[in-house]
Amino acid sequence: MQQTLAAFPIWVIVLDYALGMVMWTLIGRAAMNLFLPIDSDFFFMRMFVKLTDPFLRIFRPVTPDFLLDPMVPLFVAWFFFMFRFYLMPWLLGYSVMGMLSFPLESDAARFIYSIFGGL
């Protein structure tokens, strides 16, 4: 985390974490929908639906009608990915930074490596 704070201003990290959490929650909803229906009583499915429905409503005008309903969260997550991968670096004056340059994913990768790196 210290390396991330040194590399980016705090507002960039906060914005990237927020956008990353929305993106991964949308992906989680799509993954859960492979196994459970949207109206399932399972707590995690209800949580994914409750957290992601506002974003799906916002992006409804740009969502193609031919997409199957389980694919819509992935389509919306793609917008968040594109913003994080292309627009954020451009706003900061960088060229494209690369996959593990995202602060959220970089910190997660460092944490996982710290746990399993010594094996």
Residue 98 has pLDDT above 70, yes or no: no
Nearest to 15 by CA among 90, 103, 77: 103
- What does the alpha-carbon distance between residue 73 and residue 31 come to, in Å, rounded to a whole number? 10
Residue 119 has pLDDT above 90, yes or no: no
Which 3 state secondary structure label does DSSP give 13? helix
Greatest Cα-to-Cα distance within the chain, rounded to the nearest angstrom: 49
The total domain count for the chain is 1
- Structure confidence by residue, pLDDT tens digits, 36-62: 999 999 998 999 999 999 999 999 999
Q: Which residue range forms the structural domain that includes residue 33?
A: 2-116
Nearest to 81 by CA among 4, 22, 5: 22
